[in-house]
Each structure stands twice: as C-alpha cells, then as structure tokens.
Amino acid sequence: MNSSISNNLLDSFQRRVNYLRISMTDRCNLRCRYCAPLIPKQIKKNELLTLEEMYRVVEAGVALGITKVRLTGGEPLCRRGIIDFIKRLGDLPDITDISMTSNGTMVADHARQLKEAGLTRINISLDTLERKKFKWLTGADLFPEVWKGIMSASEWGFAPIKINMVVMKGFNDDEIENMASLAIRFPFHIRFIEYMPIGTDPLAAHASFLPVSEVEAKIRQLVELIPVAGKAADGPALRYHIAHGKGEVGFIGSMSSHFCSSCNRLRLTAAGHLRPCLLSDDQVNVIEPIREGITNKGIEALILETLAKKRKEHQLSFTSGRSLQSSMVSIGG
C-alpha cells in the first residue's frame, strides 16, 4: 500500500471508512421475492452508470482512502465487461481487496476468468438447500447451477467462500442446522442474516423475522462454537469456528443488534447515487455531475458529502413503521 495516500474518510462519529460497495447493475436472472418485485422496473440503459463512470468514482475514492471494493448487483455477472473492470480495479494503487457478491448461477462459467482478473473473494447468496423451495423463492429452477458455482469457485482457489443465508421464519428456519453443517464438511463461511424490512411493509415483514440469537441457539444444539477474534476492518458478522469442522459460521443481526458503530462502508448504486448506508434512503447524485463534466476532485467532494450523511445508526424498525423505500435490487446487496 502506498503510504503517501492518507485516509480522509472519517465521519462525524469518528468511523473510518475504507470500503466501497458498487452495484454493477439492477439486472438479475433471478427474481428473489424479498429482493426484487416479481414485475421488474429496470433502470433504462442510459440511466445506468457506465463502467468508465464507475471507475472514476473508485479512483476518487482511492484518493481519499478507499482500499476495499465489493461488486454487487442485481447480479454483477450480468454486467457486460465486468472481467476487464475487475482487472482495471486491480491496477489502482492502494486497492488491496476486490470481492463480489453473486447469486452463484453463473459463477461456474466465469470462475477462472474472475480469478485471473484479480478477484480476491466471492460471496454466494443462498437461502435454501432444497431445490423446490429455491425455485419458489427465486422464480428459477437453478439450484444445481448455484451448487456447481460454489464448487467451481472452491476449485479455483477462492477462499474463504462465504454463503449468505437470509433467515425467514416459516420458510427456511427448518434448514438452519443443515446450512450450518456445510461448515463441518467444507471450509466455507456460512453467514446467517436477519430478514430486514426493505421495500416492503415492516409489519408484514415482521412475520418473517427470526433474531440471530435464536439461529445461534439452534446451531449450538448441533455443534460446539468457538469464537473467532475479529479485526478492526472485519465485516459485521459475529464469527465462530465449528469445533472439529473445516469452516465457520457467522451471525449478522441487522435488526436485533445494530453494528452501525463499526460501519466502514459507502455504497454506489448502478443508477449513479452514493449512499452512506444500506438501510437509509439518503443518497447523493453523482451521475449527473459526472456527465456534466465534473473533475475527480469534484467527485471527491461528493464522496465527502455522502460521508457527512452517515447517521449514528439506522432507523429501520418493524414496530415503528419505519422501512426502506428502495428495493434491495436497486441498492445492491
């Protein structure tokens, strides 16, 4: 890392930001019920950031102290040119980590290219291990392709492979133990994530909510969990190694136990808005200034404006009626 680049991304609550999550596209080959509406309203092509425009935002972020980038969607592998984009990111000074969150359906076809382009890590979103339930949730019978993608990523040396499960009461809470057992047989990191009221009625969403404390209790009946010491720049998961297993499990309590005090990230949507928080509708328009000829210094100023909007903690609640109006697919997971 070039020590001459200092991190100027310190928010008003003294949180140091070094992580940018980029939604590459709102397009996806799945229609997961909690992520996207069944009848999609796609962003018009000319209203999407071009890859060059995204690159300019990353360049400006690096000048301020961004060192980590995660590519999300929609499904990022739906974005034409993503392999070359990853290569360009890898050439930027001070970028030490380039990762991706994918639905896994196309990973097997691209694993080698992604590895050779310089992708560091990959997360797979997978909420069920049952093929029929997968088809119901996503609208596509592609569970075998996802599993093939996970295995292919492992064969090409991506490690750790994280599998993200959004736990929904009455749908997949009976699979918690089976999902956790993957970390016994494989060196995978299984992440159990609380259901959040994003783009939906919070009271209706509450019916699907299961706190991660209950998820952890179920897993502790199956295996012994050994705490993993976290590092300052780690993600929000409370991590545990599985005794006598190859992997680990983690719990992300977005609703029951806020981790906002350690948040180190900003987000860039495919439609060209910088957002200070996944769980806030606050945002700053960057696409219009870029197309009007703004300089990189000007983009840096927009990043700092976004940083100033970071709140102490998110305000989402099932009981107060506060929910996020944006859909997950429009923000990036």
- The reported pLDDT for the residue numbered 92 is 96
Integer Cα distance of 307 and 226 in angstroms: 36
Q: In what order do the strands lie in the sheet with 121-125?
A: 225-227, 238-242, 248-252, 189-194, 161-167, 121-125, 97-102, 68-72, 19-23, 265-268, 273-275, 284-285
- pLDDT for 207: 82
User: Treating both helix axes as pointing N-terminal to C-terminal, what angle do 143-155 and 107-117 enclose, rounded to 10 degrees?
Assistant: 30
Q: Which of 143, 139, 137 is nearest to 163 (CA)?
A: 143
Structure tokens at 21: 């999550």
49 by Cβ neighbours in 10 Å (0-12 / 13-18 / 19+) ranks as: buried
pTM (2 decimals)? 0.91
**Sign of torsion over alpha carbons 183, 122, 41, 327:** positive
Instruction: Determine the number of helices (DSSP H) and then strands (DSSP E) in the chain.
Output: 11, 12
CA 194 to CA 171: how far, in whole Å? 13
Contact assessment for residue 12 and residue 323, using Cβ atoms and an 8 Å cutoff: no
Residues in the chain: 333
Strand 19-23 and strand 265-268: pairing? parallel
Neighbours of 93 (CB within 10 A): 12
Q: What 8-state DSSP symbol labels residue 16?
A: B
- From the list 146, 137, 73, 82, the residue with the least C-alpha distance to 114 is 82
Please give the helix or strand (H or E) that residue 250 lies within, else none.
Answer: strand 248-252
- Predicted pLDDT of residue 2: 43
**Assigned superfamily of 19-331:** Aldolase class I (3.20.20.70)
pLDDT recorded at residue 210: 93
Distances (CA, A) of 294 to 199, 230, 286: 32, 39, 9
pLDDT digits (tens, 9 = 90+) for 79-117: 999 999 999 999 998 999 999 999 999 999 999 999 999
The kind and range of the H/E element at 115 are helix 107-117
Closest listed residue to residue 17, CA positions, set 269, 331, 300, 307? 307
Is beta strand 225-227 parallel, antiparallel or unpaired with respect to 238-242?
Answer: antiparallel
| Segments in the chain below pLDDT 50 | 1-4
